[in-house]
């Protein structure tokens, strides 16, 4: 979700206006993704590195997040959207943490569609947290010593019981990963678009998904292996 600031700047507006419009896109995309058959949508809303922005912008973003969660709780329950989070949410303001806890709890039974908010998220801190938890499990004797199998180790990531992303979309014309799901997106398909997040539309999402469907995912194998002769 990139480009809020530049969207605002282009219009001579303060950055926070871009973030406000960005929240509207979050609403639209939550349901657009579901309509297009997506089972899980993860939004990179706030990174560990975003904390280093000016204090007033971080404060405004936290305020927006609180406002958004307050408004959305009922919608999520009514429309059966399960909310989950990844990231060091324990460092977020207490009010935001409370709302997150309540919303996650109120929607935990829904299994058709999940919205994951990456908040205070960074892949490197995720690895640090996972290694710490894993080492503690080894010390406690609940994990064997030595190199863990990937399937065991990934249980210590924030995404423990979530599938890896199939498609990652980055808006605003930047072509970097910015510490997002680095391990989980090892075999994801990437889609880069110049559209700023506040302008990202249902049609843009449909275009990205259509593009995804035209790709051949080989996971290191050959084309012949994944598409044996005779299959379309």
Task: Kindly list the catalytic residues.
Answer: 2, 50
CB 12 → ligand IPE: shortest distance, Å?
14
Q: Is 72 in the site for Mg ion (CB under 5 A)?
A: no
Judged by CB under 5 A, which of 2, 72, 143, 204 binds Mg ion? 2
CB burial readout 70-106, b (16+ within 10 A) else e: eebbeebeeeebbbbbbbbbeebeeebeebbeebbee
| 140 token code pair | 């406690």
Binding pattern to ligand IPE, positions 159-198, x when CB under 6 A?
-------------x------------------------x-
CB 4 → Mg ion: shortest distance, Å?
7
* Among the residue ranges 1-9, 63-71, 85-93, 145-153, the one whose residues contact Mg ion (CB under 5 A): 1-9
Q: Is 25 in the site for ligand IPE (CB under 6 A)?
A: no
> Which of Mg ion, ligand IPE, none does residue 46 bind (CB under 5 to 8 Å by kind)?
ligand IPE
Q: Are 197 and 151 in contact (CB under 8 A)?
A: no
Binding pattern to ligand IPE, positions 108-147, x when CB under 6 A?
----------------------------------------
Query: Which residue ranges make up the site for Mg ion (CB under 5 A)?
Result: 2
Query: Which residue ranges make up the site for ligand IPE (CB under 6 A)?
Result: 1-6, 22, 46, 50, 61, 172, 197
């Amino acid at each position: 979700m990139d480009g809020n600031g530049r969207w605002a700047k282009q219009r001579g507006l303060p950055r926070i206006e871009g973030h406000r419009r960005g929240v509207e896109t979050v609403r639209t995309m939550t349901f657009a993704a579901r309509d297009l058959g997506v089972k899980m949508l993860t939004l990179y809303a706030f990174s560990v590195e975003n904390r280093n922005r000016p204090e007033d912008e971080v404060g405004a973003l936290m305020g927006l997040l609180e406002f958004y969660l307050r408004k959305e709780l009922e919608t999520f329950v009514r429309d059966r959207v399960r909310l989950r989070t990844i990231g060091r949410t324990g460092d977020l303001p207490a009010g935001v943490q409370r709302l997150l806890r309540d919303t996650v709890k109120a929607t935990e039974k829904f299994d058709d569609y999940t919205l994951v908010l990456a908040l205070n998220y960074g892949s490197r801190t995720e690895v640090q947290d996972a290694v710490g938890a894993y080492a503690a499990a080894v010390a406690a004797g609940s994990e064997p010593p030595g190199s863990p199998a990937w399937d065991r180790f990934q249980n210590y990531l924030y995404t423990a019981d979530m599938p890896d992303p199939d498609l990652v979309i980055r808006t605003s014309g930047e072509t970097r990963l910015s510490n997002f799901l680095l391990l989980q997106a090892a075999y994801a398909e990437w889609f880069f678009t110049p559209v700023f997040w506040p302008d990202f539309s249902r049609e843009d999402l449909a275009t990205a998904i259509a593009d995804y469907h035209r790709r051949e995912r080989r996971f290191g194998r050959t084309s012949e292996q994944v598409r044996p002769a005779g299959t379309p």
